[in-house]
Amino acid sequence: MTDHALRRIPSRWDMAAFGFKATLFRLRRTVLEAAARQNIVKYQPTDDLAHEPILAHITSPLWNALSGPKEYALTAGKIQNLRMAVRAIDGVEVPAGEVFSFWRQIGRTTKSRGYVNGRELREGCLIKSVGGGLCQLSNGLYEAALNAGLEIVERHAHSRIVPGSRAARERDATVFWNYVDLRFRSDRAFRIEARLARGMLEIVIRGRRKDAATQTVDSLTARETANDCTSCNETTCHLHDPEVMAPAINGRPTAWLVDACWPEFATLLAARASRQDALFLPQRVRKTDRHAWPHGFCGSETRATFTALRRALALRRAPAQGRALQSLMLRYDAALAERYARGLSYLHTHAVVSQSLLPHLWRAGALAGRSFEVLMERSPISHLQATLDEAAARYPNSPTLGDFRAPAGLAEAEEEALAEATRIYTPHRQLATLYPDKTELLDWMLPCVANKSVPGGKTILFPASALGRKGAYALRDAMQGLDAELVVTGRAREHDGEFWKGVRVTNGGWPDRVAAVVLPTIVEHQPRALLRAIAMGLPVIATEACGLGNMPGVITVPACDVSKLRNALKAALEPESRLAAQAA
């Protein structure tokens, strides 16, 4: 039997009496504050002090060693409660002389507000309760306030002092709604930053005083001597909830938060997912390649069917390119991410996220306290826009290279999230170079092709729309004077006027004979047409931006290099010229 922190087991009557006394204390506080006309307010996040010096920096780990599924659930519940609470604290700035109140800032921890069962230390016992675990936040805030030199207005120590804990150093602060509070202030304005990152709770206080920053790591050893309802042997206690006999958790239940289905990512899911995982996908109503995520590998599925169908209808009505289309796609990425975030269980403490959803989930705080991996589908927004800016400077008359840029805040959120990700998956060889230390390169999957084109002839196939970002300008200049026909498969155009300037061009599908498939693109994230050409055995001319690497049959040329592109095109057409000369 474990050593007892209490002399007698708490009864249901003890708990009822505790609740009644707590209600009286709350009423008393309300009356006294009203009589004293204390103006304790809730502060909104601002950025006025965002660049002031750090006065204090406190970190503490979110996870301890786990013994079984019940302990895992309570720890995951604590993290969910911290996730909800830090949203109300992060970025708040308190004016000089005004009081910061823990409970006024956070509000009551109820299930309707997203709080769940976590572990709470009450009178020597670790019990489960809604909102449990917030003392880790109050402890960190209190120690940060001390290190920053703030004035402590109200603080309550834990009733049970555990060796090695902050309570043993008198650096702890317990809280209980709404009469046991933590309050502090300063004669100068200060800013609080709080976040869950890399398995840690981090608290930073900034202000105009230029004190040296300090850091304390919280060991969180309270479970060593306090009675725990999942592990103590007091079977007569009404709170007793023993851990089930099960092996330690192997890995963490994963939420797959996905959108467009790439076959490479579908194969990854089939290989990695387990029955404890959850799959969040747009819909399964319309069976298309875009939504063909494999069935049966995850234990549950959550679908955003209404959002997905609304997006499909909106895209049908949208223009083929331009600002309106890009804004629409971003708006529905955000809507899909919001829908997923609402259905995400706190028990899924790991996530695999499609990149299109990543910045929106990051900004919403849905990934805080979770480890996560990214299915990388495109260049990061900041990198993509820098590439387009460079191309727009090269081709200043292009109406499409500079027609859209994402909001700066979205690009910053994506950069932060990619830096936080534990692993990145992509088949795109160029994208894999951006985060080499944590990127796992997947194999491109070649399609099964029924109707095949064959090599030969004098036809060059351009399997894209005639747009600047697809390399249309370089291709137009490289084709001048060549004895060849250019077939363009895409419908979108750079502008309504004459573009190709004397090049023989037709629009249509794949011809029976193709001398080469060429895509001298500046930006290309999913080169499916080129993979189809490789599967047919056709010569392919592409840039590094296509991400094919050293696949067989691929000639790589630099983007926007007309001379090298022209030489590659001439080489593809030469076999046909030699055969014609021999026949003559």
Beta bridge partners of 312: none
Residues 428 and 492 in one domain: no
Q: What is the CATH number of the domain that holds 473?
A: 3.40.50.2000
pLDDT for residue 30: 67
Which pLDDT band holds residue 243 (cuts at 50, 70, 90)? low
Residues 259 and 357 in one domain: yes
pTM for this predicted structure: 0.85
Mean pLDDT of 81-100: 95
Q: In the predicted model, is pLDDT for residue 581 greater than 70? A: no
Total structural domains within the chain:
3
Residues 279 and 147 in one domain: no
Residues 315 and 463 in one domain: no
pLDDT for residue 249: 46
Residues 273 and 374 in one domain: yes
User: Contact at 8 Å (CB) between 273 and 279?
Assistant: yes
User: Contact at 8 Å (CB) between 232 and 70?
Assistant: no
pLDDT for residue 160: 57
Instruction: Name the residue range of residue 346's domain.
Output: 254-441
Task: Examine residue 35 and state whether it is found in any structural domain, yes or no.
Answer: yes
Residues 460 and 434 in one domain: no
CA distances for 73 relative to 120, 238, 364, angstroms: 13, 20, 23
Give 80's contacts (C-beta < 8 A, 6+ positions apart).
114, 115, 116, 118, 346, 369
Determine the Cα–Cα distance for residues 514 and 503; give it in Å rounded to an integer.
Answer: 17
Q: In the predicted model, is pLDDT for residue 159 greater than 70? A: no
**Count of residues in the chain:** 584
Task: Examine residue 233 and state whether it is found in any structural domain, yes or no.
Answer: no
Mean pLDDT of 235-250: 49
Q: Among 108-112, 229-233, 570-574, whose mean pLDDT is lowest?
A: 229-233
For residue range 169-200, list pLDDT tens digits in order.
557 798 988 778 999 999 999 999 999 998 99
For residues 32 and 139, the model is more confident at: 139
Domain end marker among 228, 243, 278: 228
Task: Examine residue 556 and state whether it is found in any structural domain, yes or no.
Answer: yes
- The overall average pLDDT reported for the chain is 86
Residues 164 and 311 in one domain: no
Which pLDDT band holds residue 127 (cuts at 50, 70, 90)? confident
Determine the Cα–Cα distance for residues 159 and 141; give it in Å rounded to an integer.
Answer: 19
DSSP string, 415-446: HHHHHH-SEEEES-HHHHTTSTTTEEEPPP-P
Q: In the predicted model, is pLDDT for residue 34 greater than 70? A: no
Determine the Cα–Cα distance for residues 193 and 43; give it in Å rounded to an integer.
Answer: 13
Task: Examine residue 237 and state whether it is found in any structural domain, yes or no.
Answer: no
Q: In the predicted model, is pLDDT for residue 122 greater than 60? A: no
Peptide bond into 178 cis (omega under 30): yes
CA distances for 58 relative to 16, 140, 281, 407, 547, angstroms: 36, 6, 38, 32, 42
Residues 282 and 361 in one domain: yes
Residues 109 and 206 in one domain: yes
